[in-house]
Structure 1
Amino acid sequence: MTKTMLIVMDSVGIGALPDAHLYGDEGSNTLVHIAEAVKGLKLPNLARLGLGKITDIPGVPGDVMALGGYGRMAELSKGKDTTTGHWELSGILTRDPMPTFPQGFPPEIITAFEKLIKRKVLGNKVASGTEIIKELGEEHMRTGFPIVYTSADSVFQIAAHEEVIPLPELYEMCKKARSLLTGPWAVGRVIARPFAGRPGDFTRTANRHDYSLLPPEPTVLDALKSKGEEVIAVGKIYDIFAGQGLTRSFPTKSNNEGMEKTLELWGQLKSGLIFTNLVEFDATYGHRNNPVGYAKALEEMDAQLKDVIEAVAEDGWLFITADHGNDPTTASTDHSREYVPLLVYGKGVKRDVNLGTRRTFADVAATLSELYHLDYTCVGESFLPELLHGNEQK
């Protein structure tokens, strides 16, 4: 009977990868630059887990004895998007980057989509989600045409006012787009981006919904489920994996709700995995270049982490990591190609274990496989022996 909590702090990167220049992200460092922007972060619970020992982060002490293991992981897959990062955490390596459309989608895609939804579209370009509704929201309300746009990531996004195109209709449009976007057009995610308000005061609502590709091969989640373990999704995990490998799902609309739901489910879980994504770091602060808001969100999550650590100490394991970066202090509003933190705590785990720099996020999947005695292998290497039998307690 093994209980594990895997929390993904969406976009909380910890320094540019060696190949970051190939993605236009040289010099990015989400955590450190946020800390510098606010003159120091107050993250006492993440510090207890060893966050400040991975790299120098203003305000986060690095001279504490970590409760468990700490390190950082490199992304071996090609890309820097949410789907690629989460898939690699679960054991899948993306060797060819998912297609992007820096000039907008080609006419054959747009024409085919317009035929499917029986109306024209607006936009069809790379844009910030908040800016494009400022630009085209009024025209959208007048015409009823949905706004289609993309970003540096592999996404097909559809924005619509909830009073103009009701949510069920918007979601149906996304499903039609998902069925269309296959083969060379197979973007990682189709995303519903509903908004509300009036011209000059539009705001995106919390009713976003993602439609991802199915994982191309089994993940460690599938192996857990096949063994009869619970695999519970919190936040947008269900969307990222298109439901594959999961037994239950609980969508959330904020980091706070995600942490509360995770802790609530932990108290009910007998054995298995709770896989949580905290999306607000990325969606609300990273993409909007708001380091102050990002810092506040980190500190709020850290405060909730105190109860999580106490709960896990009794009978389980805690993994905390991220899926990519999104440095809010750079000119870009897109994800950044970064290392991600790795913090591990649990019953029987040695204290203050430096897990170093892992070559792939898939080390998490390999560790889960060994922890649960699964018949599952991937490109990752388990760090379980280091946590249980490795470095002597310092």
Structure 2
Amino acid sequence: MPERIVLIVLDSAGVGELPDAVSYNDVGADTIGHIFDKTEKSFSLPNMAKLGLYKLLDGRDFLPCADVVGCYGKMMTKSSAKDTVAGHWEMSGIILTHPFPVYPKGFPRKVIEEFEKQAGVKIIGNCSASGTEIIKRLGLEHQKTGCPIVYTSVDSVFQIAVHEETFGLDRLYKICEIARNILCGENAVGRIIARPFIGSDGNYRRTANRRDYSLTPFETTVLDKIKNSGGGVIAIGKIEDIFNGKGITEAVHTEGNLDGMEITLDKVKHPFEKQTLIFANLVDFDMLWGHRRDVLAYAEGLKNFDNFLPVLIKELKDDDVLIITADHGCDPTYESHADHTREYVPLLLYGKKLKKNIDLGIRETLSDTAQTIVDIFGLPNMKNGKSLKNLIF
């Protein structure tokens, strides 16, 4: 029986609009599919194709699907949201019945006033904006006044941008913790995000010292089940932030996709003595390329991951199980907006002892991932999801 599972989230790598995409203004979205459409014959992902990815890209006959050695399917998001926290929580076993609150016109005055009072600052911004655009527009004013830039997006986030050299990282993290304590109850946004940047006016750029302050999961997750049974949960990238540390035994933050892949590979090579979930998020797909609508960079990022796959697979032990998925979409070709898109996410599974070329169909919830993991590990069932164990072994 497998004792180790490697779960990798390609943040935002959706594979086509969900049936309810119209309710989210996302009709026609198809993140990976549209990247292929824009690049066509100049682009390929042969290693993910071997796991079944091409089988999930509807209507693209130019993509060969021979010699599939993985199990593959699509998963629907059942939670009424399309953000990072909702996606990761659902794949861990929690389905949100109500979305986290959003503030497209900025946060209520009472929230801002309380934050300013407790943090001892005055803020600028308080609007919905792109992170790169807001520091370009308000960065100089921030440096002159020392006032943090507060902004949001269509997601449930309270973001604070400051110049890390003039304002200070420790101070930024402290006021983010204050904001987390304030934004509760009816204003309980999914995440408070520290958004440090450096540079000078006209040349500001965000750094890798971002930190997310999420709500604590309010139900038992697959991470909790593993940890409580004496197993290990190794969180790579922003996984620790998304779960507010709950259910995690070891955490390693990363500086981007390449760093995340190297750390994941290192953990796979490392000896282990107990049931272990290695849970990694590769954030650049979403943060750097999806939201910024950079099709070519997104394609290059996918290619880098595809090239990494054979190296990772070579290091897998005979009983290891590899799961590759996503948390939502962020179609870089979408013209209506620059936010997350409501899409199916891919589900690719591989292991030396797993069946080959198995079509898992369309799964009704991302929680099938969690249910499959506890089933493989012989742990008590999750509240949500259906296990795939009998289909893949």
Scaled by the length of structure 1, what TM-score is found?
0.96
- Determine if contact 2:122/2:147 at 8 Å carries over to the other structure: yes
Q: 2:327 aligns with which of 323, 327, 332?
A: 323
Report Cα offsets for 1:133-152 as digits up to 9, x if no partner.
11100100100000000000
1:354 corresponds to 2:359: yes
- Determine if contact 1:193/1:204 at 8 Å carries over to the other structure: yes
CA RMSD for the aligned pairs? 1.3
User: Where do 5+ consecutive residues of structure 2 fail to align?
Assistant: none
The alignment partner of 2:316 has SS state of helix
**Amino acid paired to 2:99:** P
**Whole-Å separation in 2 of the counterparts to 1:138 and 1:368:** 48
**Whole-Å separation in 2 of the counterparts to 1:117 and 1:56:** 50
The alignment partner of 1:201 has SS state of coil
**Amino acid paired to 2:4:** K
Report Cα offsets for 1:371-394 as digits up to 9, x if no partner.
001013222000110111xxxxxx
- Determine if contact 1:130/1:203 at 8 Å carries over to the other structure: yes
- Equivalent residue for 1:283? 287
- Equivalent residue for 2:113? 111
* Percent identity of paired positions between Structure 1 and Structure 2: 49
The alignment partner of 2:55 has SS state of helix
Q: CA deviation at 1:176?
A: 0.3
Q: 1:136 aligns with which of 135, 138, 160?
A: 138
**Whole-Å separation in 1 of the counterparts to 2:96 and 2:67:** 36
The alignment partner of 2:354 has SS state of coil
The alignment partner of 1:382 has SS state of coil
Q: 1:363 aligns with which of 334, 355, 368?
A: 368
Q: 2:208 aligns with which of 203, 206, 209?
A: 206
- Determine if contact 2:319/2:353 at 8 Å carries over to the other structure: no
**Whole-Å separation in 2 of the counterparts to 1:276 and 1:58:** 29
Q: 1:385 aligns with which of 355, 380, 390?
A: 390
Q: CA deviation at 1:280?
A: 0.4
Cα–Cα, structure 1 residues 284 and 190, in superposed 2: closer, same or farther, change >3 Å? same
**Whole-Å separation in 2 of the counterparts to 1:294 and 1:57:** 21
Q: CA deviation at 1:63?
A: 2.3
- Equivalent residue for 2:347? 342
The alignment partner of 1:253 has SS state of coil
- Determine if contact 1:214/1:242 at 8 Å carries over to the other structure: yes
**Whole-Å separation in 1 of the counterparts to 2:339 and 2:102:** 13
Scaled by the length of structure 2, what TM-score is found?
0.97
Q: CA deviation at 1:311?
A: 1.9
**Whole-Å separation in 1 of the counterparts to 2:61 and 2:173:** 43
Q: CA deviation at 1:61?
A: 3.4
- Determine if contact 1:50/1:65 at 8 Å carries over to the other structure: no
**Whole-Å separation in 2 of the counterparts to 1:306 and 1:166:** 41
- Equivalent residue for 2:313? 309
Q: 1:262 aligns with which of 242, 261, 264?
A: 264
Q: 1:46 aligns with which of 40, 45, 48?
A: 48
User: Where do 5+ consecutive residues of structure 1 fail to align?
Assistant: 389-394
Q: CA deviation at 1:59?
A: 9.3
Cα–Cα, structure 1 residues 59 and 124, in superposed 2: closer, same or farther, change >3 Å? farther
Q: 2:302 aligns with which of 298, 303, 309?
A: 298
**Amino acid paired to 2:359:** N
Report Cα offsets for 1:234-267 as digits up to 9, x if no partner.
0000000000000000000111111111111111
1:372 corresponds to 2:367: no
- Determine if contact 2:318/2:353 at 8 Å carries over to the other structure: no
Cα–Cα, structure 1 residues 60 and 278, in superposed 2: closer, same or farther, change >3 Å? farther
The alignment partner of 1:96 has SS state of coil
- Equivalent residue for 1:391? none
The alignment partner of 1:326 has SS state of coil
**Amino acid paired to 1:340:** V
- Determine if contact 2:49/2:65 at 8 Å carries over to the other structure: no
**Whole-Å separation in 1 of the counterparts to 2:61 and 2:114:** 52
- Determine if contact 2:30/2:331 at 8 Å carries over to the other structure: yes
**Amino acid paired to 2:314:** E
- Equivalent residue for 2:68? 66
Q: CA deviation at 1:84?
A: 0.2
Q: CA deviation at 1:333?
A: 1.3
Q: CA deviation at 1:269?
A: 4.1
- Determine if contact 2:13/2:31 at 8 Å carries over to the other structure: yes
Q: CA deviation at 1:62?
A: 3.9
